[in-house]
Each structure stands twice: as structure tokens, then as C-alpha cells.
A = this chain, B = another copy of it.
């Protein structure tokens, strides 16, 4: 075996352990009985510690050194060079994080998520607040351990969006706010109700699932390597490209919730299922920091794919021209008298709303901005956990002109903070921007793409995305962390 192959064998074990952690997390969110939360926390803590010890070991250092020497002078764009480079970059950062912090975080996550789920159900922010405080304290400890120049947020966002930092985000959101707020005002002033509300009917959940899964498969989701479950906060998760699972949630009347939730996660899943088999269990499908997406190059890049398939494709007029007939077959009474055009307008209505994952494309980034501002405040200390409901509601009123009737539809709506995911929200906005850019590039490169999409043939688009993005896993990632002095990583 070459030094590089020996290195790969060592890292493949790490990949297995990280994938096992993901399986335990998927199970905790979709299958686990409530009584199992605490011991699941121990299991996750131990596996996370095992992974961490495996990665920061002297053996990794030795094998990495040997692989670097062996590959000196090789093509810098080749997979081996990229794989070794990324491992080196993360190795140097992760060795700064104390082992007990890693296992504390892992142990807290399922407990905290369980408390959050109950708090959301019971509209009880106070019961969740101590756990959020613990997550915040751990996040601050991590930021201090990793190090940063300007803002503790910079050390955390690196985990999700390596090229971002607090300063760049303030600039980005200020520009967005300046453009979006007046636009939203105009739309609201001119809003007219649709001639007909399709979401007054009952749409049985089992039939909703049939339709959504059919579309997901037409997009290219392979059920031989995937499955769809229910989760209160939908997500996609992958345990190698061979097992890529999605979740959704159902509203018996509001069909778009489960449909677009499924198509969103399908976009993530297509990315993961499209990774080159050769990259399985290599550094180029590993998120060394232990957060998914494992196969994708960043949260933003990943989100660009979920939003491309959900919005650019799934909410297009062409989509409903193709799929309306099948929807009417499944829901003949509910769809009596409806048209593709009505469907198109029904799923694209712009209006300020309370829930991020149900927001339209004009208001969506305002929801993200609000969360990022709060995270910055929490990390700086200018916002206290106990004041969050009040801060949240005030910002909702300021940006969107609506106030949540309760915390379940306000500050408790998202799972992210319960899992300690500070720094993950910017990826959504980055993804929104990238999704438009990627579709434009695919259209430029692919004659007949629009005609294919209009006929329900998604293969040319999937092919372009797979060829240019998916198959490369994390190989196209350029790490540019604001958490350390420029040039050191």
C-alpha cells in the first residue's frame, strides 16, 4: 500500500464512526421512544469522543505527514491532493478543541432536542431556556478554543460556511434588507386574495406521501438508497451515498407543507446520492467537525440544491403544467375546478408569515437575518437567553410586520439552537443566492434544458449538477476560515 492508501484506510474508519453517529441521530429524531433520550446522549457522547480521539491521534498526524510527502508536486486539483489538504486544514483546527467539550456537546444534543420538542409542543420557552443557555455556553467555549480575530461567531460559522464571517454577513444582510423591505411593502400593499383557497380541503396524509415521493423519484431520488419518514423538523441525512434519508411533516389541509418539505430535502438527497462512489469513506465525504452534510461542500452549497429543486423547479409554472394531472388523479374532489395556473399562484403567494420553513422567497432571507442578528447578540452578550421571546417578537414586527401569537410559532420554531447549531443559519441565504447562479449556469451550458424541464424530464439538469457539483463531494471546497490569522490555514 502507498502512504496515501494507508492514510485513506485510517480515515475510512473515522468515516464509519461519524456515519454511525448520524444513524443514532436520525433514529433519535424519527424512531426513538422518549425514554431513550438520556442514554442516547451517553452513546453519542462516547462515539463523538471516539471519533475525536481517532482523528486527533498521533497516528493521524503520522499518516497525514507521510501522505503529504508522497503527494508533493502532484496535481493540486486531484482528489488525493484535495483529500490530504482538507484533512490537514481540519486537523489543525480540531486539535484546538478540548475532548471534553466535544463529548459534552454530543451528550447535550439529544436531551436538549427532546426538551425543545416538548417546549415547542407545549409553548413553554421557560423549560427550554436552561438548555439553550448550556448550548450557548458550549458554543462560546468552542469559539474561544478555536480562536477568532473579530467576533466569536467567526469561529463557529466556519463549521458551516468556511468563507463567511460576522462582518461580511452584516454587509450582506444590510444590502438585502435595503432591497427586500421596500419590495415586500409594495407586494403587501398590492396583495389580492386568490379566487379560490385550495387548502381548505382535507388531503389524507398517505396520499400526500404518494404524490410527494413520486415527484421526488422523478427528480432522481433513488429509494433503493433512501427512504422518507416523519420528523417534527424535517431534515436530510446521509450515511454514505448508499443510504440517504429524508424526512417531512404533514399538515392534513395545507398540502404544500409536506410536498415542498419533501422536495427541499430531496434536493439535499440528490447531492448526497450523486457523490462519486470512489469518494465514499474518504476525506472528501467527511465533515470532520461532525455536522452533516457529510458529502456536500458547505451548508450554502448544499442549501443551494435543496432550494433549487424545491423552488426554481418545484414552484415553477412548468412544474404544475407537468404534475397537475397526477395531483388531480390522487385528489379528484379537492382539485375539482383547479388549474395548473391556480396551483402555481397558490404556492407562490408572497406575504409576511411566522414560520421560516413556510416562508416565500421574498421574505425568507428576512427570517434568516433575524436569526443571525440574534446569534451575534447572544455571543456578544448584548442579548440574554431569557429575553429571547421578546427580542424575537420585536424583530418579527420590525422586519415582517407580524407578531407571533405564541413562542411555538416564534422563537421555538427551529431545531437548530437546541442542537447547538450556532453559525448554521447563514448557509440558507448563501444557498438562495447560489441556487439562482447554478441554474443560470446549467441553462447556459445545456441546450434544450428549459424544454426538457417543461416536459418533466429532469435528467439533463440532474446530469449537469451531478457532473459539475455532486460527484465531487467536498473536493471543490476552498477552506478560508476567518477564525485564525490569514494564511495560517
Contact = CB atoms under 8 A, between A and B. Distances in A.
Contacts of A243: 32-33, 35-36, 39-40
Nearest to A45: B16
Contact of A50 (B17, B223, B280): B17
Interface string A190-234: 000000000000000000000000000000001111110000000
A472 interface: no
Contact of A43 (B20, B38, B42): B20
Interface in A156-200: none
Interface stretch (A23-31, A295-303, A339-347, A351-359): A23-31
Contacts of A281: 39, 42
A199 B114 CA distance: 43
A13 interface: yes
Given A16-B47, A33-B243, A280 B39 contact: yes
Listed from nearest, the 4 A-B pairs whose CB atoms lie closest are A36-B243, A16-B46, A35-B225, A39-B240
> This chain: how many copies in the complex?
2
A242 interface: yes
A229 to B, nearest CB: 8
Given A39-B242, A39-B243, A240-B39, A27 B23 contact: yes
A268 to B, nearest CB: 16
B34 A224 contact: yes
Nearest to A281: B42
Contacts of A27: 23, 27
A224 B36 CA distance: 8
Contacts of A242: 35-36, 38-39
Interface in A2-27: 12-13, 16-17, 19-20, 23-24, 27
Interface residues of A, number: 38
Nearest to A225: B35
A33 B226 contact: yes
A319 interface: no
B31 A19 contact: no
Contact of A227 (B33, B39, B46): B33
A262 to B, nearest CB: 16
Contacts of A260: none
Contacts of A227: 31, 33
A11 to B, nearest CB: 11
A113 to B, nearest CB: 15
A20 B27 CA distance: 11
A131 interface: no
A224 B35 contact: yes
B20 A24 contact: yes
